[in-house]
């Protein structure tokens, strides 16, 4: 049997769930296919969120769900150097320590409220695309027909491979075993620096479990790691395996760094780990995936609804590919400064000294937190291509935070000049007398009006009479304001 949807999503990890929610908010019928029978994740995986991802959730009105479950702290860093963002102009000048299994549970709850269908217990086996859509084959013998298919199916993406999209990059130079287990004896908590790298043991939430991360002696193992492998390696490093037992998760990760050559092949797109993989140092992967989804969601919705041409989807690649490419390079550098040989230690000390210079700290804190991201949307006001700050503006109905106008993932034309702007888009007349300040670059001139895309990035800012406003509305939403005062 074949069922029909506007968009099929392979994978309901963080990226797939975020994309499904974005499409649903935009009124598009999306379905996700996920092999896991429920939203539970076997291990804890990613350790939390960076500031921009918290803002992105705030734009949809769900940040508190995450903040209430985790611990806010300064999480941005490079190598062993913490990068404090507490002086950045944002409501969230911090990161959030919260394990990925909790993040996914919270996202699953939201997606459930939005009534997004998730076909669980089955996987995408393949697909064929033609001029009218994509036919997706599932492991249960059923198939889906959709206008577009998005592969959010992780680093080993079947969608990427079936589409024949190249995945160039760098092979692994280091390999880690990771395990979540209980121990019979109290383990040595904390980091242990050894000639071949850094090993670590830490608690997982409250309870008896610990998370063990060990640098392997060799790269290139292909068999799934076992409790015995972890025990043997622990014994070689610590002289004991602390009596490990009751594993809930044993896995391996490396610093292989690869990125899809293109994020779009006709009616097939890639997002999240399906589009880019790298070492977890710096904690960027999940954050990148969520932000890929938020960049793609509204564009795909407009194309599916026929209000924008399919070429709008090419801006997803042109905007997001360079962001992940930069993360890959920074992560490779992060691996280099974590090596424990004398030359790498000397490099790490040099980098630490440089990051002590306030301007350098700010710049890299801006990158690692995601707050300094700028899409190349052309010239204009310094806000263009950057995130809209969550200002508190005064409307006829009282004070409102700008992010509240983005909860439904709609574009926003914010008129702060007092004149008339006629626009078919969501338009808000408001006053704002406070400062305009952006992370890293500082104060910027106050614009009279701002056009904000549903992903929270500024498409245009300036005087309402500026003809470029009409151009920007046409470019992004294919509809111009009827007249500009």
Ligand X SMILES: Cc1cc2nc3c(=O)[nH]c(=O)nc-3n(C[C@H](O)[C@H](O)[C@H](O)COP(=O)(O)OP(=O)(O)OC[C@H]3O[C@@H](n4cnc5c(N)ncnc54)[C@H](O)[C@@H]3O)c2cc1C
Q: Which is nearer to ligand X, 129 or 415 (CB)?
A: 129
Which range touches ligand X (CB under 6 A), out of 283-291, 315-323, 343-351, 465-473?
Answer: 283-291
Member of 35, 82, 380, 382 binding ligand X (CB under 6 A): 35
Q: Which is nearer to ligand X, 25 or 271 (CB)?
A: 271
Q: Which is nearer to ligand X, 102 or 448 (CB)?
A: 102
Member of 5, 7, 8, 15 binding ligand X (CB under 6 A): 15
Q: In angstroms, what is the minimal distance from the CB of 182 to ligand X?
A: 19
Which range touches ligand X (CB under 6 A), out of 54-62, 152-160, 255-263, 352-360?
Answer: 152-160
Q: In angstroms, what is the minimal distance from the CB of 359 to ligand X?
A: 26
Q: Note whether 16 binds ligand X by CB under 6 A.
A: yes
Q: Note whether 273 binds ligand X by CB under 6 A.
A: yes
Exposure string of 97-116, with b = 16+ CB inside 10 Å and e = fewer, is ebbbbbbbbbbbebbeeeeb
Member of 93, 197, 280, 454 binding ligand X (CB under 6 A): 280
Q: Note whether 158 binds ligand X by CB under 6 A.
A: yes
Which range touches ligand X (CB under 6 A), out of 281-289, 308-316, 339-347, 366-374?
Answer: 281-289
Member of 7, 8, 12, 337 binding ligand X (CB under 6 A): 12
* Residue keyed to tokens 């914010």: 414
d(CA 476, CA 307): 10
Q: In angstroms, what is the minimal distance from the CB of 339 to ligand X?
A: 18
Q: In angstroms, what is the minimal distance from the CB of 278 to ligand X?
A: 9
Q: Note whether 400 binds ligand X by CB under 6 A.
A: no
Member of 55, 153, 372, 466 binding ligand X (CB under 6 A): 153
Q: Note whether 33 binds ligand X by CB under 6 A.
A: yes
Q: Note whether 439 binds ligand X by CB under 6 A.
A: no
Q: Note whether 409 binds ligand X by CB under 6 A.
A: no
Q: Which is nearer to ligand X, 38 or 399 (CB)?
A: 38
- The answer to whether the CB of 245 falls within 8 A of the CB of 206 is no
Token pair belonging to 286? 């999940």
Q: Note whether 10 binds ligand X by CB under 6 A.
A: yes
SS3 annotation, the chain: CEEEEEEEEECCCHHHHHHHHHHHHCCCCEEEEECCCCCCCCCCCCCEECHHHHHHHHHCCCHHHHHCCCEEECCCEECCEECCCCCCCCCCCCEEECCHHHHHHHHHHHHHHCCCCEEECCCEEEEEEECCEEEEEECCCCEEEEEEEEECCCCCCHHHHHHCCCCCEECCCCEEEEEEEEECCCCCCEEEEECCEEEEEEECCCCCCEEEEEECCCCCCCCCCCHHHHHHHHHHHHCCCCCEEEEEEEEEEECCEEECCCCEECCEEECHHHCEECCCCCCCHHHHHHHHHHHHHHHHHHHHHCCCCHHHHHHHHHHHHHHHHHHHHHHHHHHHCCCCCHHHHHHHHHHHHHHCCHHHHHHHHHHHHCCCCCCCCCCCCCCECCECCCCEEEECCEEEEHHHHHCCCCCEEEECCCCCEECCCEEEEEECCCCCEECCCEECCCCCEEEECCCCEEEEEECCCCHHHHHHHHHHHCCCCCEEC
Q: In angstroms, what is the minimal distance from the CB of 362 to ligand X?
A: 21
Q: In angstroms, what is the minimal distance from the CB of 297 to ligand X?
A: 14
Q: Note whether 100 binds ligand X by CB under 6 A.
A: yes
Member of 154, 247, 456, 481 binding ligand X (CB under 6 A): 154
Q: Note whether 36 binds ligand X by CB under 6 A.
A: yes
Which range touches ligand X (CB under 6 A), out of 27-35, 192-200, 232-240, 364-372?
Answer: 27-35
Judged by CB under 6 A, the chain residues 221 through 260 that form the site for ligand X are 253
Member of 123, 188, 437, 463 binding ligand X (CB under 6 A): 123
- The answer to whether the CB of 82 falls within 8 A of the CB of 95 is no
Q: In angstroms, what is the minimal distance from the CB of 55 to ligand X?
A: 15
Member of 83, 178, 269, 428 binding ligand X (CB under 6 A): 178
Q: How many residues bind ligand X (CB under 6 A)?
A: 33
Q: In angstroms, what is the minimal distance from the CB of 123 to ligand X?
A: 4
The partner residues of 325 in beta bridges, in order of sequence, read none
Q: In angstroms, what is the minimal distance from the CB of 445 to ligand X?
A: 34
d(CA 433, CA 448): 11
Residues within the interface to ligand X (CB under 6 A) = 10-16, 33-36, 45-48, 100, 123-124, 152-154, 158, 178, 253, 272-273, 280, 283-287, 289
């Amino acid at each position: 049997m074949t069922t029909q949807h506007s968009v099929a999503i392979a994978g309901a990890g963080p990226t797939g769930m975020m994309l499904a929610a974005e499409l649903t908010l935009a009124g598009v019928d999306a379905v996700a296919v996920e092999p896991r029978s429920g939203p539970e994740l076997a291990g804890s995986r990613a350790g939390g969120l960076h500031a921009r991802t918290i803002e992105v959730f705030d734009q949809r009105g769900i940040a508190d769900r995450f903040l209430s479950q985790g611990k806010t702290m300064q999480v941005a860093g490079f190598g062993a150097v913490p990068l404090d963002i507490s002086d950045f102009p944002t409501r969230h000048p911090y990161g959030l320590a919260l394990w990925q299994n909790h993040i996914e549970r919270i996202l699953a709850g939201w997606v459930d409220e939005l009534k997004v269908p998730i076909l669980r217990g089955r996987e995408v086996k393949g697909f064929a695309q033609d001029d009218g859509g994509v036919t997706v084959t599932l492991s249960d013998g059923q198939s889906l027909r959709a206008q577009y298919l998005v592969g959010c199916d992780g680093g080993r993406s079947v969608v990427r491979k079936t589409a024949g999209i190249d995945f160039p990059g760098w092979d692994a130079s280091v390999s880690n075993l990771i395990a979540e287990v209980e121990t019979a004896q109290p383990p040595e908590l904390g980091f242990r620096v050894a000639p071949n790298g850094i090993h670590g043991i830490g608690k997982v939430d409250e309870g008896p479990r610990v998370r063990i991360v060990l640098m392997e002696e060799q790269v290139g193992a292909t068999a799934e790691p076992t409790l015995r492998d972890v025990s043997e390696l622990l014994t070689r490093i610590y002289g004991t395996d602390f009596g490990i037992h009751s594993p809930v998760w044993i896995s391996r990760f490396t610093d292989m760094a690869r990125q899809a050559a293109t994020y779009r092949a006709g009616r097939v797109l890639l997002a999240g780990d399906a589009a880019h993989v790298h070492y977890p140092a710096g904690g960027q992967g999940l954050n990148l995936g969520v932000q890929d989804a938020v960049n793609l969601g509204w564009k795909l919705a407009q194309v599916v609804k026929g209000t924008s041409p399919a070429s709008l989807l090419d801006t997803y690649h042109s905007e997001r590919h360079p962001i992940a490419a930069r993360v890959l390079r920074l992560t490779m550098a992060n691996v280099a400064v974590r090596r424990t040989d004398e030359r790498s230690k000397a490099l790490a000390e040099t980098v630490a000294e440089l990051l002590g210079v306030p301007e350098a700290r700010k710049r890299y804190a801006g990158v690692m937190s995601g707050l300094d991201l700028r899409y190349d949307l052309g010239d204009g006001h310094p806000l263009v291509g950057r995130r809209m700050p969550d200002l508190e503006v005064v409307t006829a109905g009282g004070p409102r935070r700008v992010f509240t106008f983005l909860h439904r993932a709609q574009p926003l034309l914010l008129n702060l000049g007092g004149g008339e702007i006629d626009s078919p888009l969501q338009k808000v007349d408001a006053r704002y007398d406070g400062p305009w300040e952006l992370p890293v670059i500082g104060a910027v001139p106050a614009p009279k009006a701002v056009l904000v895309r549903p992903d929270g990035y500024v498409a245009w800012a300036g005087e309402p009479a500026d003809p470029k406003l009409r151009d920007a509305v046409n470019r992004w939403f294919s509809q111009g304001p009827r007249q500009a005062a």
